[in-house]
């Protein structure tokens, strides 16, 4: 009996340790992209598409809960689920949470071969006005998955809109896009929006 | 530390000594208490501590039994002997104390012993007094300079209050002392004395009594004078019993209040007096004031030594000019002239003084100038002084007179004195101070080789007055504006001389090029009109009479201006380019001398002014060319409704005082708040007209310089609802010439045509910035779908509301619609909105309704509204294959507002559709995407089995797995080449073949042995796998197409590619998309996004090759070498 207690206690300790490790691993949010020193985010919240609409807010909340429940279930990858959850937080205008789940998604991309979360992080920081951070995020999306046209378009448009004087960066982004897709009219049309 | 200790020690010693000194100061010791060496040691110690001299002196006095006291004034000292090294006594102590008090350092103090320190101090003092040699010997010269029994004088310093209770008299600091005089010289300097008046009233010194001192005789001084600077104050005084004095009840010299003057005693030194010593002693002074109590007489000057030397000689000629007995008033008249003969050596003329002994008033002759050999020397003398003298002081820059005859003359301007006499005379030899250039002593001049006697010009009587008339340099010469009134045409200078002259009339003649004369002529004397206004008949003397209003003061310049209008005598306008000139005609007894009563002609000859051209003035109003006709919207505030330019001609500037804006009744009813603004500065001109009328006068006050321009804008608020078509303001302006004051009126002009209308905003799909169709991965945020360009006309617009529509079947794939635009400040704005399923009865679209937008479309420009979507993930409900396009609803949910507040709720006649242009504006949602790449097979083509004819790789996006179920290859070959089809054609993946069936587009199965006929040069070969081929997320699969090749010959070629034949998307089951040999797609693939059932070829997530990256692509190109 005494021995059983000892064994039970030991198991409990082991469980606690393992649980703690699991909890730590699950709850720790690795920061894939820190905020650029030039940026100052006054508020992480913004007016999302659902902001101010209780019905839609509730819908998003339920969506988040449901998506969280699917983790590890196998129907969807955790990467996709985290991106999905981040998207729901975007609808709610909760930038901080969106940032958290995009970071979680990136952490799941072991080979760092997916640009989706990076692209969405660029869109998030663009909306938050953290333009240098957004620039870095868009840039990484286009670099990691250069074969995805949308990432090039997003990065190039962002540079033209917010860094129109940085011709070097714009030209470099344009060259990278053209290298992958050729001289698409869309590229030139975007480039033409910046000062010559 | 050493230093600190040393300082401490010194401080202790110093403290002790200070205590000792204090005790000594208050308890003098007996002289015998200390030995001289002990006293000396103490004094040395004090000196080493840097004690001041007076302290040391006091200590020493105490130690030696003396009485410490304040330093005595030098006047308290009595020197009966010369002092030098080794001298001792009270006189030495007194000298030392005086020197110390005067700031001359004697470190040992007043010891009573004349040592090296005292000698050094004396030498310094001698240098300061210009005593030579300054070697420290205190002899007779120094003793005299030290003012034995007197006080060394210090003239008053400007700005420093002079103190005292009465007139102070002292020996001047620069009083001569020990100088060498020359026997036979003139005005040798004997002494100089300073008179200081510290009181608030002037003091007239009425008597100065002197005593000759020194080893000399009374006869040594043949003439004794008192001078103030270069000016002789007195006649010569005789010396009797060594005494002489100067008296004048009106003041020998007058010392102004709180001021000082110095007077010098100068005397002619008799010949044969060499070896004598002579000086002067001031023994008494009488004045209108009291003497200061400090003054002690006698005040003794230094003694000068008379030596023998040969001086230069200066001899005045017998004849002195002028000799005329009458003279007309005139300028530059020689009032005195004599030829002087200089002999032995050159002399310097240092001063020259004449006296007038005539009856004229002192101001009747002015502006005296001294000329030597025809060249003026020194400064002019304005007028005769109160003592009737004129004195030229050349001491600052003496005129050297070389030996020989030198003509000395004085000229002046005779401006008054008609009927009176003048006669200038050199009264005394000493009045011409000529100094021997070698001996530096004045020479006693002679006259005609004998003792000097006065050299006088002939007494002359000044004739009756004259009047000179000349055209003034300032007489106008610039053009005159056409029609200008009250224009100054001429300016003359009239100057009476000899006496005041009354001018009773003047003849004024206008000579005009077109013989018109001038209208309204006027004569102004010194700025005031005299006489009446008369037309100036052309080329005719018009006589203006003045009564007694035209008096010319003798010697003064009077300005006479002639004014008239720039019009003919009938008031008609001149023609541009005509000229006019004014002449004062010769007078005939039209002036009268006010003293002599003699008649005078004014002027004595015709005197013409400048010829002046009459030109048109020039205020021109023109429509401003930089602002064209405009269309402005009703309701616009502060609208620029016109602009014009005012220009002036070269004649003169214009002060614009009125601007008139004329409007029709309809036009004035259209606007409010009419105002003018300077285009250059934006400053408002005049006051706003809240309710304009048909004629709106703006009072203005601004100048436009000659040949200048100013552009003026007209602003107004255009009333809402106004729609009258064209609106044209008419502008006019008037002003006055800046110089002439003449009125100038510009011609009115119609300004820009303003069309009052309604502003417009239009919208259209911006095809250039709407992206081409593309596959996009579900979950992507910020996917741009469409760009819409809005264009404004006549007003800037702000789009406030927009409704975005998305096809309903794609709505679940969209999380949110995002708009991006720039606001009025040019700042990027991003807003998002969710979709609602509610568009039209059929609910064909979902809508995102945006309100509160600030999308700004600048005036007559355009701006883009970009529509993005945030895609849902497949997990969040996105549907693979959903085709997302965006539309802006044309008549629902749209609102834009222009600058007048008018709104537009209709974009156009139809929704704006991003997909309106084929190939643009639709994004297809995919869970994952395939990418096909290839490293084409390019090796030499060989015949035989298992020949690689194509190689390619399919890569699944990291977002998810993909599958494919059909692939079609396009083959191009040389005609003779054979490709086995039945048995050997295989698609390999690594070392395995992919199970499936090959065929051609002409049949489901390859039934013939060859893919194509031998003669065929191209065709398609299609592979349909037995089961879908799956590629994992982020994984790739590389395939090689192999078959048996034959029929080769030199130059044979075989190339294989995967085409891109689908021009639109098809989504559905594999069969629906196309897996038959004859179906179009070159690639039938799936993103395996359906999760509601097990994925297979029957799920509806299959699609075709449309938009697959890198298609078409070459996968092989082999040739047989020649």
Query: What ipTM was predicted for this assembly?
Result: 0.88
What average pLDDT does chain A have?
89
B782 contacts A154? CB cut-off 8 A: yes
**Residue of B854, B872, B875 to mutate for A, most A C-beta atoms under 10 A:** B875
pLDDT of B146 reads 67
pLDDT for the residue B365: 93
Q: What is the pLDDT of residue B38?
A: 52
In angstroms, rounded to a whole number, what is the distance separating the alpha carbons of residues B334 and B318?
17
The confidence band for B980, taking pLDDT boundaries of 50, 70 and 90, is confident
pLDDT digits (tens, 9 = 90+) for A38-48: 999 999 999 99
DSSP codes joined into one string, B1031-1081? E-TT-EEEEEEEEEEE---TT-EEEEEE-----S--EE-HHHH--STTSS-
Residue in the block written with tokens 């198991």: A11
**Lowest-confidence region among B900-904, B955-959, B1094-1098:** B900-904
Q: Which of A99, A149, A155, A159 would you mutate first to test chain B, the one with the most B CBs within 10 A?
A: A149
- pLDDT reported for residue B161: 46
Put simply, whether the predicted model's pTM sits higher than 0.80 gets the answer: no
Does the N-terminal peptide bond of residue A4 adopt cis geometry, omega within 30 degrees of 0? no
Name the pLDDT band for B1094 (thresholds 50, 70, 90).
confident
Average pLDDT on A138-152 reads 94
Distance (Å) from the alpha carbon of A186 to chain B's nearest alpha carbon: 6
Which residues does B contribute to its contact with A (CB < 8 Å)? 768-769, 771-772, 774, 776-777, 779-784, 815-817, 820, 828, 830-834, 848, 870, 872-876, 929, 931, 955, 957-960, 1033-1034, 1091, 1109
Mapped onto helix, strand or coil, the DSSP state of residue B637 is coil
DSSP B339-380: EEEEESS-EEEEEEEEEE-SSS-TTSEEEEEEEETTEEEEEE
Angle between helix axes B90-101 and B116-128 (nearest 10 degrees) is: 50
Mean pLDDT throughout B1081-1091? 91
**B863-896 pLDDT per residue, tens:** 999 999 999 999 998 998 899 999 999 989 999 9
CA gap B104, B122 in Å, rounded: 8
Higher pLDDT, B839 or B580: B580
Q: Can you tell me the mean pLDDT for B635-654?
A: 89
Confidence grade of residue B395 (pLDDT, cut at 50, 70, 90): confident
Q: Is A122 on the interface with B (CB under 8 A)?
A: yes
* B902-931 average pLDDT score: 91
Domain residue extents for chain A: 42-110, 134-196
Q: What was the pLDDT predicted at B135?
A: 78
Selected residues 150-189 of chain A with any CB under 8 Å from a CB in chain B: 150, 153-154, 157, 161-162, 181, 184-186, 189
The chain A residue lying nearest B1092, using CA atoms, is A75
Q: Are strands B518-525 and B557-565 parallel, antiparallel or unpaired?
A: antiparallel
pLDDT of residue B964: 96
Are the beta carbons of B779 and A48 separated by less than 8 Å?
no
Size of interface A-B (CB pairs under 8 A): 122
* Percentage with pLDDT > 70 across chain B: 89
Residue of chain B nearest A124, judged by CA positions: B781
B557, with CB counted inside 10 A (0-12, 13-18, 19+), is middle
A100 pLDDT band, cuts 50/70/90, is very high
DSSP A32-72: SSPPPTT---S-SB---TTTT-HHHHHHHHHHHHHHHHTTT
Residue B28 is predicted with a pLDDT of 33
Q: B80-89, B400-409, B1112-1121 — which is least confidently predicted?
A: B80-89
**Chain B partners of A53 at a C-beta cutoff of 8 Å?**
834
E strand segments, B165-242: 168-171, 180-182, 188-197, 203-213, 221-228, 231-232
Q: How far is B991 from chain A (nearest CA, A)?
A: 27
pLDDT band, residue B77 (cuts 50/70/90): low
Residue A111 at interface with chain B, using a CB cutoff of 8 Å: yes
Cα of first residue to Cα of last residue in chain A, in angstroms, is 85
Tell me the pLDDT band of B840, cut-offs 50, 70 and 90.
low
Contact (CB<8Å) A116/B959: yes
Q: What is the pLDDT of residue B32?
A: 37
pLDDT for A19 equals 66
The reported pLDDT for the residue numbered A163 is 94
- Using the beta-carbon criterion (under 8 Å), do B783 and A126 form an inter-chain contact? no
Give the pLDDT confidence score for residue B144 in this predicted structure: 65
**What does the CA dihedral B678, B679, B684, B689 come to, rounded to 10 degrees?**
100
- State yes or no: pLDDT of B611 exceeds 70: yes
Q: A48 and B1109: CB-CB below 8 Å?
A: no
> Does residue B1091 have a pLDDT over 80?
no
CB contact under 8 A, B784 and A153: yes
Chain A residues close to B816, C-beta within 8 Å: 48-49, 90-91
Helix (H) or strand (E) holding B942: none
Phi first, then psi: give them for residue B294, nearest 5 degrees.
Answer: -80, -10
Average pLDDT, chain B: 86
pLDDT tens digit string along B33-54? 454 455 555 545 454 444 444 4
Give the whole-angstrom CA distance, residue A10 versus residue A118.
Answer: 44
Cβ atoms of residues B164 and B294 within 8 Å = yes
Q: What is the mean pLDDT of residues B251-256?
A: 92
Our CA-based measurement puts residue B676 at a distance from the nearest CA of chain A, in whole angstroms, of 37
Which among A50, A124, A185 has CB closest to B834?
Answer: A50
Contacts of B873 in chain A (CB under 8 A): 76, 80, 83-84, 87
The residue written with tokens 């040594």 in the block is B220
pLDDT at B50: 46
Measure B772 CA to nearest chain A CA, in Å.
Answer: 7
pLDDT of residue B130: 67
pLDDT reading at B148 higher than 70: no
Mean pLDDT (whole number) for A153-174: 94
Interchain proximity A116–B779, CB inside 8 Å = yes
* DSSP bridge partners of B775: B924
- What is the mean pLDDT of the segment spanning B652-679? 94
Dist. CA B941–CA B1049, nearest whole Å: 10
Residue B115 has pLDDT above 90, yes or no: no
- Using the Cβ of A193 and the Cβ atoms of chain B, whether some distance falls under 8 Å is answered with yes
Contact A109 B875 (CB under 8 A): no
> Measured between CA atoms, how close is B939 to chain A, in angstroms?
26
pLDDT at position B70: 39
Cβ neighbors of B1004 (< 8 A, separation 6 or more) are B997, B1076, B1077, B1078
> Which of A70, A83, A154 is the closest to B779 by Cβ?
A83
Q: Is the pLDDT of residue B55 over 90?
A: no
Q: Is the predicted pLDDT of residue B1055 greater than 50, yes or no?
A: yes
Peptide bond into B603 cis (omega under 30): yes
Say if A112 is an interface residue toward chain B (CB within 8 Å): no
In this predicted structure, the answer to whether residue B1 has a pLDDT above a threshold of 70 is no
Determine whether the interchain pair B830/A127 forms a contact, defined as Cβ–Cβ distance below 8 Å. yes
| Dist. CA A169–CA A185, nearest whole Å | 19
d(CA B519, CA B564): 6
Best of B776, B779, B880, B925 to disrupt the A interface (most A CBs within 10 Å) is B779
Nearest-by-Cβ selection for A149 from B774, B955, B960: B774
* Chain A residues 44-83 with a CB less than 8 Å from chain B: 47-50, 53, 56, 63, 67, 70, 75-77, 80-81, 83
Mean pLDDT over B423-439 rounds to 93
Nearest CA-CA distance, residue A145 and chain B, Å: 9
Tell me the pLDDT tens digit for each residue of B769-808: 999 999 999 999 999 999 999 999 878 899 999 999 999 9
**Is any Cβ of chain B less than 8 angstroms from the Cβ of A10?**
no
Express each pLDDT in B481-519 by its tens digit: 777 889 999 999 999 998 999 999 999 999 999 898 999
Statement: residue A154 has pLDDT above 50: yes
User: Which of A189, A190, A191 best tests the B interface by mutation, with the highest count of B CBs <10 A?
Assistant: A189
- State in Å, rounded, how far the first CA of chain B is from the last one: 108
Each residue of B154-211: pLDDT tens digit? 333 333 445 678 899 998 888 998 888 999 999 999 999 999 998 888 999 999 999 9
> How distant is the Cα of B873 from the closest Cα of chain A, in angstroms?
6
Q: Is A67's CB within 8 Å of B870's CB?
A: no
Question: Which residue of B776, B870, B1091 is in closest CB contact with A87?
Answer: B870
């Amino acid at each position: 009996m005494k021995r059983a207690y000892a064994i039970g206690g030991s198991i409990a300790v082991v469980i606690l340790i393992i649980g703690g490790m699991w909890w730590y691993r699950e709850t720790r949010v690795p920061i894939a992209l820190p905020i650029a020193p030039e940026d100052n985010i006054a508020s992480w919240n913004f007016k999302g598409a659902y902001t101010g609409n209780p019905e839609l807010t509730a819908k998003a909340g339920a969506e988040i809960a449901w998506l969280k429940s699917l983790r590890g279930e196998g129907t969807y990858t955790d990467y996709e689920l985290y991106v999905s959850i981040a998207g729901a937080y975007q609808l709610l205008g909760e930038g901080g949470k969106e940032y958290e789940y995009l970071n979680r998604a990136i952490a799941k991309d072991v080979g760092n071969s997916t640009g989706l979360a990076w692209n969405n992080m660029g869109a998030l920081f663009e909306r938050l006005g953290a333009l240098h951070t957004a620039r870095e995020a868009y840039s990484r999306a286009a670099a990691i998955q250069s074969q995805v046209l949308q990432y090039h378009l997003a990065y190039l448009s962002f540079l033209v809109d917010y860094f129109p004087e940085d011709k070097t960066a714009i030209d470099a982004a344009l060259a990278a896009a053209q290298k992958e897709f050729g001289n698409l009219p869309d590229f030139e049309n975007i480039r033409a929006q910046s000062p010559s | 530390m050493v230093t600190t200790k040393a300082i401490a020690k010194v401080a202790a010693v110093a403290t002790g000594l200070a205590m000792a000194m204090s005790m000594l100061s208050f308890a003098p010791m007996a002289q015998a208490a200390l030995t001289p060496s002990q006293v000396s040691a103490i004094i040395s110690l004090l000196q080493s501590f840097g004690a001041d001299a007076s302290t040391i002196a006091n200590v020493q006095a105490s130690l030696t039994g003396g009485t410490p006291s304040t330093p005595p004034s030098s006047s308290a000292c009595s020197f009966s002997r010369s002092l030098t090294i080794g001298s001792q006594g009270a006189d030495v102590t007194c000298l030392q104390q005086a020197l110390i008090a005067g700031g001359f350092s004697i470190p040992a103090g007043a010891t009573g012993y004349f040592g090296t320190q005292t000698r050094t101090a004396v030498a310094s003092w001698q240098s300061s007094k210009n005593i030579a040699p300054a070697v420290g010997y205190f002899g007779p010269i120094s003793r005299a300079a030290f003012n034995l029994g007197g006080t060394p004088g210090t003239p008053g310093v400007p700005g420093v209050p002079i103190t005292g209770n009465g007139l102070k008299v002292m020996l001047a600091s620069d009083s001569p002392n020990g100088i060498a005089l020359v026997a036979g010289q003139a005005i040798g300097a004997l002494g100089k004395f300073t008179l200081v008046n510290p009181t608030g009233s002037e003091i007239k010194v009425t008597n100065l009594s002197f005593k000759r001192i020194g080893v000399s005789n009374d006869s040594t001084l043949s003439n004794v004078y008192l001078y103030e600077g270069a000016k002789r104050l007195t006649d010569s005084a005789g010396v009797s019993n060594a005494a002489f004095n100067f008296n004048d009840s009106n003041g020998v010299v007058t010392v102004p209040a709180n001021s000082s003057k110095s007077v010098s005693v100068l005397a002619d030194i008799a010949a044969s007096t060499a070896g004598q010593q002579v000086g002067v002693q001031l023994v008494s002074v009488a004045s209108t004031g009291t003497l200061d109590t400090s003054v002690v007489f006698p005040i003794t000057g230094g003694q000068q030594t008379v030596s023998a030397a040969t001086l230069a000689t200066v001899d005045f000629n017998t004849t002195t000019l002028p000799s005329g007995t009458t003279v007309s008033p005139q300028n530059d008249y020689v009032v005195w002239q004599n030829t002087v003969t200089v002999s032995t050596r050159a002399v310097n003329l240092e001063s020259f003084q004449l006296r007038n002994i005539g009856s004229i008033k002192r101001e009747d002759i002015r502006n005296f100038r001294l000329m030597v050999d025809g060249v003026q020397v020194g400064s002019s003398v304005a007028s005769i002084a109160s003592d009737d003298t004129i004195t030229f002081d050349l001491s600052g820059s003496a005129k050297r007179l070389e030996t020989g005859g030198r003509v000395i003359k004085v000229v002046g301007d005779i401006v008054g004195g008609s009927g009176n006499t003048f006669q200038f005379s050199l009264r005394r030899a000493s009045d011409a101070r000529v100094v021997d250039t070698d001996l530096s002593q004045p020479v006693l001049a002679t006259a005609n080789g004998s003792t000097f006697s006065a050299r006088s010009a002939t007494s002359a009587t000044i004739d009756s007055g004259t009047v000179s008339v000349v055209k003034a340099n300032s007489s106008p010469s610039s053009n005159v504006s056409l029609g200008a009134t009250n224009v100054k045409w001429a300016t003359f200078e009239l100057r009476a001389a000899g006496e005041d002259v009354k001018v009773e009339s003047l003849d004024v003649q206008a000579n005009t090029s077109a013989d018109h004369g001038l209208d309204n002529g006027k004569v102004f004397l010194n700025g005031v009109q005299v006489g009446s206004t008369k037309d100036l008949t052309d080329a005719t003397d018009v006589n203006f009479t003045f009564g007694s209003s035209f008096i010319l003061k003798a010697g003064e310049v009077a300005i006479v201006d002639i004014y008239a209008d720039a019009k003919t005598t009938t008031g008609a306008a001149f023609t541009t380019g005509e000229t006019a000139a004014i002449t004062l005609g010769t007078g005939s007894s039209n002036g009268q001398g006010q003293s002599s009563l003699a008649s005078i002609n004014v002027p004595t000859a015709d005197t013409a002014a400048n010829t002046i051209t009459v030109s048109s003035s020039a205020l021109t109003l023109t429509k401003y060319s930089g602002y064209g006709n405009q269309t402005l919207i009703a309701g616009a505030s502060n609208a620029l409704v016109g602009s014009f330019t005012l220009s002036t001609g070269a004649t003169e500037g214009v002060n614009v005082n009125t601007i008139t804006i004329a409007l029709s009744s309809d036009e004035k009813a259209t606007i409010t708040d009419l105002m003018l603004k300077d285009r250059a500065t934006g400053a408002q001109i005049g006051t706003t007209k809240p309710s304009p009328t048909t004629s709106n006068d703006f009072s203005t006050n601004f100048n436009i310089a000659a040949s200048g321009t100013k552009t003026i804008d007209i602003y107004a608020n255009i009333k809402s609802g106004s729609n009258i078509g064209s609106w044209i303001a008419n502008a006019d302006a008037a002003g006055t010439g800046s110089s002439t004051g003449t009125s100038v009126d510009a011609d009115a002009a119609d300004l820009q045509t303003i069309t009052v209308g309604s502003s417009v905003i239009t919208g259209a799909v911006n095809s250039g910035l709407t992206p081409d169709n593309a596959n996009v991965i579900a979950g992507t945020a910020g996917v741009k779908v469409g760009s819409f360009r809005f264009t404004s006309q006549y007003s800037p617009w702000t789009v406030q509301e927009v409704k975005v529509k998305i096809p309903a079947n794609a709505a679940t794939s969209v999380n949110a619609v995002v708009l991006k635009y720039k606001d009025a400040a040019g700042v990027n704005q991003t807003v998002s909105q969710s979709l609602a399923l509610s568009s039209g009865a059929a609910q064909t679209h979902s809508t995102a309704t945006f309100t509160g937008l600030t999308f700004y479309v600048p005036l007559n420009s355009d701006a883009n509204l970009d529509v993005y979507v945030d895609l849902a993930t497949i997990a969040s409900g996105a549907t693979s294959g959903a085709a997302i396009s965006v539309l802006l609803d044309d008549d629902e949910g749209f609102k834009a507002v222009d600058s007048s507040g008018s709104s537009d709720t209709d974009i156009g006649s139809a929704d704006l559709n991003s997909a309106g242009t084929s190939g643009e504006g639709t994004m297809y949602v995919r869970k994952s995407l395939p990418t096909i790449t290839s490293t084409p097979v390019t090796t030499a083509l060989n015949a035989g089995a298992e020949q690689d004819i194509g190689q390619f790789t399919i890569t699944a996006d990291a977002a998810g797995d993909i599958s494919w179920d059909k692939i079609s290859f396009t083959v191009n070959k040389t005609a003779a080449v054979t490709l086995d089809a039945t048995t050997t054609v295989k698609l390999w993946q690594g070392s395995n073949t992919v199970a499936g069936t090959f065929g051609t587009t002409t049949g489901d199965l390859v039934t013939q042995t060859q893919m194509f006929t031998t003669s065929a040069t191209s065709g398609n070969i299609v592979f349909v796998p037995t089961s879908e081929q799956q590629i994992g997320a982020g994984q790739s699969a590389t395939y090689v197409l192999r078959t048996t090749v034959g029929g080769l010959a030199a130059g044979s070629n075989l190339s294989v590619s995967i085409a891109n034949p689908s021009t639109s998307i098809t989504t559905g089951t594999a069969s629906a998309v196309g897996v038959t040999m004859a179906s179009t797609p070159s690639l039938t693939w799936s993103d395996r996004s359906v999760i509601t059932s097990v994925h297979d070829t029957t799920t509806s997530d299959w699609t075709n090759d449309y938009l697959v990256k890198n298609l078409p692509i070459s996968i092989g190109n082999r040739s047989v070498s020649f």
